[in-house]
Amino acid sequence: MLTRIEAALSSLSPAEQRVGRLLLDCPGSFLNQPVIALATQAQVSSPTVVRFCRSLGYNGLKDLKLKLVGRTQEGVQFIHRSVDVDDKTQDILIKVIDDTLAAVSRYRVEVNPCHVELAVTAMLETRRDGGRIEFFGLGNSGIVAQDAQHKFFRMGIPTTAYPDSHMQLMSASVMRPGDCAVVISNSGRTQELLNTCAMACKNGATTIVITCSHSPLSALGQIHLPANHPEGHQRYSPPMVSRLLHLMIIDVLATCVALRTGMDKLQPSLRQMQSCLLTKQLAGDL
């Protein structure tokens, strides 16, 4: 909750930002003081304190304090961790977007460029040696894997993203040194993906895992790209923030590989691909 508030500060008025900084500097003290005392410390009016709370999607100061102290369960089970059942559309917009912005901002601060560089280098070596890159994921992570396959095959790299766990294990069983396996998982605990990653490792393929830290999968892969997020694997809810983080990491990898490959090698084939698509679109208009 504090992370989401911090990410939202830049979108607030200067006066509301002072209230937000007061809250972030000492949440415990904020909880125990009335609105007049908070307004005095932040050098704002009492209505500004209430307006700050409503700008964040809460009904007022009392509602924000209740959520902060944990007296009510924040979130709607199976739906979203940051919304309440009586939220209006505007409240949902603010909460869902701020939740995503907070996670992306945190990732930007915590990401280790060295780990990304290792993954990019491994993919470039696979491309240079004529190997193949396999993307593995199940459920929502399987959709991310398909998106990754779509981005990388455009570069002329042999890639696949099988949605079926049996096909994934079979594919990993025929991988060889020089190939690259990219395993994507929200929880990092799905047994089928652990088996597939272990099989790829056994056969000498380079394994890149995109998952949360301190999970079984993070320890199994050779190159770990952490994607830490507030969506706990213990509670079932549709992956939202984690899915966007995974897609963003794939975008970073694809962009790096494309630029390192060289535009002189990629542009002719990409231009031809664009021409084919334009011809198809124009034919549909006739």
With contact defined as beta carbons under 8 Å apart, do 68 and 27 qualify? Answer: yes
User: By CB neighbour count within 10 A (0-12 exposed, 13-18 middle, 19+ buried), where does 276 fall?
Assistant: exposed
**Is the pLDDT score of 234 beyond 80?**
no
Q: What are the pLDDT digits (tens) for 14-58?
A: 999 999 988 888 787 788 888 998 999 899 999 999 999 998 888
Q: Which regions of the chain carry the CATH code 1.10.10.10? A: 2-109
Strands (DSSP E) along the chain, which ranges?
133-136, 159-160, 180-184, 206-211, 223-226
User: What does the mean pLDDT of the chain come to?
Assistant: 86
Whole-number pLDDT of residue 72 = 41
Q: What does the pLDDT average to over 150-169?
A: 92
Tell me how far CA of residue 280 lies from CA of 155, 156, 219, 266, in angstroms: 21, 21, 46, 21
Let me know if domain 2-109 sits in CATH 1.10.10.10. yes
Closest CA to 218 of 191, 229, 210, 228: 210
Q: How confident is the model at residue 119 (pLDDT cuts 50, 70, 90)?
A: very high
Share of the chain above pLDDT 90, in %: 47
Q: What does the pLDDT average to over 207-221?
A: 93
Q: How confident is the model at residue 86 (pLDDT cuts 50, 70, 90)?
A: confident
**Is the pLDDT score of 272 beyond 80?**
no
Q: What does the pLDDT average to over 165-180?
A: 96
CATH architecture of the domain formed by 113-273: 3-Layer(aba) Sandwich (3.40)
Q: Which regions of the chain carry the CATH code 3.40.50.10490? A: 113-273
